[in-house]
Amino acid sequence: MIRFNPNMHMNKNIALAALLVLALPDLSLAQETVNITGQERNVQPEVNNKVKTMAEELIKKGFTAGDGYGEVWIRDLNTFIELSCKVNDKAQIRKHLITFFQFQQPDGGILDGYIPASKATIYGKFYKSELAPEYLGHKNTVETDQETSLIQAVAKYIRSTGDKSILTDKVAGLTVKNQMERALDFLMENRFDEKHGLLWGATTVDWGDVQPEHSWGVVIDENTHRAIDIYDNAMFLIAIKDFIAIADLNAG
C-alpha cells in the first residue's frame, strides 16, 4: 500500500493517478467497455495515457511512501517497484533492496523501513547497522508482512530487470538468496501457529500496523491480541512461490 499522510504536500490528483496505475498494471484493460451508473461508455485512451504519465512522474521523485515520510518502507517499495523499474535507475532500486538485507536482524527478521539518520525523530525504537551507518531502521513488530514484502520485491525486481545477479550479492557474509531463506525461517519460527498451521500477527487497525489498545501501538506487548488474517498468509504464500521460482528450487 502507499501511505498517505494528512500532512503531505502531495498533489491528490497525482496520488490518485498512481493508485489507478498500480491497480491496473495493464492499462489496455481500462480501454474495455465499462458500466458506470447503468450506462456503458468507453474509457478514452488519452485519459489512460495521462494517468500513466502522471504516475510515472510521481514515482520518479523517490522511493519514500510520500512527502510526509522520510523512510523507505518495504511494503510500499514492494507495491510500486515494478513501475519504478521502468522509470528509475536499476542500480538505485537494487541498492534500496540490499539496504533492507543490511538491516536484517540476527533472527532473520526484516525491518519495516529505514531513514537517513539525520531525519530520524525521537519517537520509536531505531536499529543501527554497521553495513549502512548513514541510516536508522525501525520495525513495527505487530505486523507479519515485512519479510514477505521484501522477498516479493526482490522477485519483482528480477522479473522486471532480468538482473538475477542480486541473489549472489553477499550481505553479512551470506548471499541475498540465503538471507531470503532466513527471512522465511523467521516467520516459521516466530510467527507460525502450530494449531492452525498459519501465520499470526497482532490485531491492528489504521494501515494494519497499529494496535488499538494504546496510542503508539506498533510493538507487540501485554496488550496484544493475536490474530490470524488472510493478508499475512496470502503474502506468505506469494513469497514462497516467488522464492521457489527465482531461487530455482523444486516446488516438490
User: Cell numbers 493517478 correspond to what residue?
Assistant: 17
80 and 197, same domain (yes or no): yes
User: d(Cα 59, Cα 54) in Å, to the nearest integer?
Assistant: 9
Instruction: Report pLDDT digits (tens) over 72-93.
Output: 999 999 999 998 999 889 999 9
Name the DSSP letter for residue 5. -
pLDDT of residue 205: 79
51 and 86, same domain (yes or no): no
Q: Residue 20: exposed, middle, or buried by beta-carbon count in 10 A (0-12, 13-18, 19+)? A: middle
Q: DSSP strand E in the chain: where?
A: 33-36, 39-42, 72-73, 113-116, 135-138, 170-171, 174-175, 192-193, 198-199, 201-202, 226-227
User: d(Cα 68, Cα 54) in Å, to the nearest integer?
Assistant: 19
Instruction: Report pLDDT digits (tens) over 167-223.
Output: 999 999 999 999 999 999 999 999 999 999 999 999 887 666 778 877 777 888 898
Among residues of the chain, what percentage have pLDDT more than 70? 76
Name the DSSP letter for residue 192. E
User: d(Cα 120, Cα 163) in Å, to the nearest integer?
Assistant: 32
Q: What interhelical angle do 45-59 and 74-87 show, nearest 10?
A: 110
pLDDT of residue 3: 42
Least confident of 20-29, 51-60, 157-166, 169-178: 20-29
Cell of 105: 536482524
In this prediction, residue 164 has a pLDDT band, given cuts at 50, 70 and 90, of very high
17 and 128, same domain (yes or no): no
What's the domain count of the chain? Answer: 2
Q: 67: alpha, beta or left, given left = phi > 0 and alpha = psi -120 to 50?
A: alpha
Q: Are strands 135-138 and 113-116 parallel, antiparallel or unpaired?
A: antiparallel
Q: What is the mean pLDDT of residues 33-58?
A: 67
126 and 162, same domain (yes or no): yes
pLDDT of residue 7: 37
57 and 78, same domain (yes or no): no
Neighbours of 70 (CB within 10 A): 15
8 and 123, same domain (yes or no): no
Name 170's bridge partners.
175
pLDDT of residue 5: 41
192 and 223, same domain (yes or no): yes
Q: What interhelical angle do 146-161 and 90-102 show, nearest 10?
A: 150
pLDDT of residue 214: 72
User: d(Cα 22, Cα 118) in Å, to the nearest integer?
Assistant: 31
Specify the higher pLDDT residue, 205 or 157.
157
Q: 37: alpha, beta or left, given left = phi > 0 and alpha = psi -120 to 50?
A: left
79 and 96, same domain (yes or no): yes
Whether 231 is covered by a domain: the verdict is: yes
User: d(Cα 200, Cα 145) in Å, to the nearest integer?
Assistant: 10
pLDDT of residue 250: 64
Least confident of 9-23, 33-47, 142-156: 9-23
